[in-house]
Amino acid sequence: MTLFQARSTLAVSADSRRPNANDPIVAPEQTISTMTAKICAPPLQERWPLWWKLSLGAALFLVLILVISIGWLFYAGIGIWGIDWPVVWGFAIINYVWWIAIASGGTFISALFYLAEVEWRNALNRLAETITIFAAACAAIYPVLHLGRPWLFYWLFPYPNVMTLWPQFRSPLLWDFVAILTYVVSSILFWYFGLVPDLATMRDKAVAPHKRRFYGVLALGFRGSESAWRYYHVGYGLLAALMAPLVISVHSIVGLDFAGAATLGWHSTLFPPFFVFGALLSGFAAVMLLAVPARRLLGLEDFITGRHFDILGKLLLTSSLCVGYAYLMEAFTNFYGPDAAEKRLFANKITGELSPIYWATILFNVLTPQLMWLRRVRLNEIFVVLISIAVIVGMWCERYVIVVMSLRRTHLPSAWGGYTPTIWDWLTLFGAVGLFIAGLLIAIRLLPAISMFEMREVILRNARRDR
């Protein structure tokens, strides 16, 4: 049992909580037992601090607003939004694309890097996947709200009916519907599957009978036997292998929603990779943004260390460079291409009355992240938070540019129009943010914020290495 003996001193001073250049992936003083105890502690606590109650209250208030605005939407019709003629797509689509991109980060980190056997992802994948499922949930409501007659959304299913009609399989919207459905379902599956061993741990750590039952039921009787683990690892590997391509496909198809159209500003083969890049960027930004409060508030500094910020920062930088490349290509193809109307539209984007939004996109998604070249910035939590927020806002602006600004200036000048979002557009946006936050808060309240069984692997491996 040598491995389980505590190692050198445990003097944790205040300033060592700040991320540090040469942090290890997990603080050396952590042993399996200390780690488990530390991660199990928050969910098992009886009473939670005020910050949690307050923020949950605020989030639930936003959810209430969301419910109200959806109710009014269904009652009055989507005319309550700012969409008009010719700008028939608005916030619903913008928000949808925005959320689904935010969701991608989790899948990248937990699935892709799992396959790549990257050690550091073990501390982040739980957090990342939780972000994924709640962001994906927020994304999934918009395509339905977007419909003129939402109660008929099920006509998108290819189900046998007395009209003897099928959905039209040529339409990108149909592919989109299928892609999102698959993505959301498998994300939830992946997330839950990854939880099972930890739930078992919780079950065993919990004292109060109701908690033991609660975790017991969720753990599906996982006892950690040798065979159980063997099957478990195979299953987990398979799921990861399924998720990795999914995240690419889902964003390419979201891209095809636009590229598949003949609309000015959309009709470009660039879009599928472009949207994948965008997804990477906002995904990493979201994970980074939430890693900071997570480690601070849940006391996980030993597991989410400077090392993680260093790596995430570099990833963010890389993806922002990819996005910058995409922007560059968009401009290039427009001027290289033959279509005068396309040129006119792009000129309007960069110089027109709404050009500030375009330049904000460039500033937030391409320029700001360049700060990440500096290790000091990567390791400074304040900077990390600010840059991540900038990127997430920037990505929303990008979608505004793509959706609204393209539709405002179509081929015929006689059909040019404007677009003014209404209060209901904004409320639906913020309401969804509340839904997302509330989800996260409840998740960390009930579940271990870090995948314990995977952390064990890391610690064991470190221990072996030390020997």
Partner 1 sequence: MSSVNAQWRSLEELMQDPDFVSRVEQEFPMLGAALSAPRDRRQALTLMAASLALAGAGLSGCDGAPEGHLIPAVRMPSGVVPGMPDYYSSAHVEGGYAAGTVVKHFMGRPIKVEGNPFHPASLGATSPIAQAELLDFYDPRRAWGMTQANLPRSRSALEQALGEQRDKLAATGGAGFVILTGASTSPTLAAQFDALRKSYPQIRWLHWEAVGRENAEKGVALAYGGRFELKPLLQDADVILAIDSDLLSAAPGHLRLAREFAARRNPTRAKMNRLYAIEATPSLTGAVADERFIAGPRETRRILLALAAALLGGAPVEGPPWLDRIVSDLRANRGRAFIHLGPDHAPQAHALVLAMNEALGGRQAVYTLLDAVTHASSDDSLSLASLVTDMRAGQVSSLLIIDSNPVYAAPGALNFAEALGRVEFSLCLSATPNETTAAALWAAPMIHPWEGWSDARAFDGTASVMQPQALPLYQGVEPYHVLGLLLRPDPPPALDLVRQTWNDRLGGAVGDAWIDALAQGVIPNSASPVSNRPLRDDAARAALPEPSSAATILLFRPDPYLLDGRYADNPWLQELPRPLSKISWGNPLLISPRRARELSLANGDVVRITLDGAHVTTPIVITPGQSDDCVVALLGFGRRHAGPVGRNIGVDFFELMGRSCAAPDIQKTGATEELAGTQHHAAMFDESGVYARSGALSQFLADPGFVRRSDEPQPSFYEWKPEGPAAWGMSIDLNACIGCGACVVACQAENNIPVVGKAEVLREREMYWLRIDRYYDGPPESPKVNFQPVLCMHCEEAPCEPVCPVGATMHDAEGLNVMVYNRCIGTRFCSNNCPYKVRRFNYFDFAGEERRAIESRNPEVTVRARGVMEKCTFCLQRIAAARIVADRDGETASAVVTACEAACPTQAFTFGDLAAKGSEVAARRAGPLSYALLADQNTKPRVTYEAHIFNVDKPEETQK
Partner 2 sequence: MGSVFRPAANLWASLALLLLSLTLVAFSLLVWFWPHGDAARGVNWAPAQPVPFSHQHHVSGLGIDCRYCHTAVEVSTNAGMPPTYTCMSCHSQIWTNAALLEPVRNSLKDDRPLAWRRITDVPDFVYFDHSIHIAKGVGCSSCHGDVADMALTYKAKSLTMQFCLDCHRDPGPRLQPKDKIYDTRWRRDATTPAPDVLLAQYGVPERNLTDCSICHR
Q: If contact means CB under 5 to 8 A according to the sort of partner, which of partner 2, partner 1, none does residue 9 touch?
A: none
- Identify the residue among 28, 72, 212, 355 touching partner 2 (CB under 8 A): 212
158-177 positions binding partner 1, by CB under 8 A: 165-168, 170-174, 177
Question: Could you tell me which of 37, 42, 107, 121 has the C-alpha nearest to residue 296?
Answer: 42
The one among 1, 50, 116, 152 contacting partner 1 by CB under 8 A: 152
Pairwise CA distance, residues 22 & 40, whole Å: 27
Q: Is 235 in the site for partner 2 (CB under 8 A)?
A: no
161 binds, among partner 2, partner 1, none (CB under 5 to 8 A by kind): partner 2
Closer by beta carbon to partner 1, 301 or else 339? 339
Measured from the CB of residue 7, what is the shortest distance to partner 2 in angstroms? 29
In the complex, least distance from residue 221 CB atom to partner 2, rounded to whole angstroms: 7
Q: Is 262 in the site for partner 1 (CB under 8 A)?
A: yes
85 near partner 1, judged by CB under 8 A: yes
Closest distance to partner 1 from the beta carbon of 313 (Å):
38
Of the candidate residues 10, 64, 88, 118, the single one contacting partner 1 (CB under 8 A): 88
Task: Give the residue with the Cβ less far from partner 2, 75 or 151.
Answer: 151
Q: How many chain residues bind partner 2 (CB under 8 A)?
A: 15
Among partner 1, partner 2, none, the one that 382 touches (CB under a kind-dependent 5 to 8 A) is none
197 sits near partner 2 (criterion: CB under 8 A): no
Q: Using CB distances below 5 to 8 A depending on partner kind, what does residue 464 bind out of partner 2, partner 1, none?
A: none
Indicate which single residue of 45, 161, 171, 225 sits in contact with partner 2 (rule: CB under 8 A).
Answer: 161
Q: Site mask, partner 2, residues 250-289, x = CB under 8 A?
A: ----------------------------------------
Contact residue for partner 1 among 76, 118, 234, 328 (CB under 8 A): 76
d(CA 308, CA 123): 9
Q: Which is nearer to partner 1, 80 or 367 (CB)?
A: 80
Q: Could you say which residues in the range 384-443 bind partner 1, by CB under 8 A? A: 407, 410-418
By CB under 8 A, is residue 163 in contact with partner 2? yes
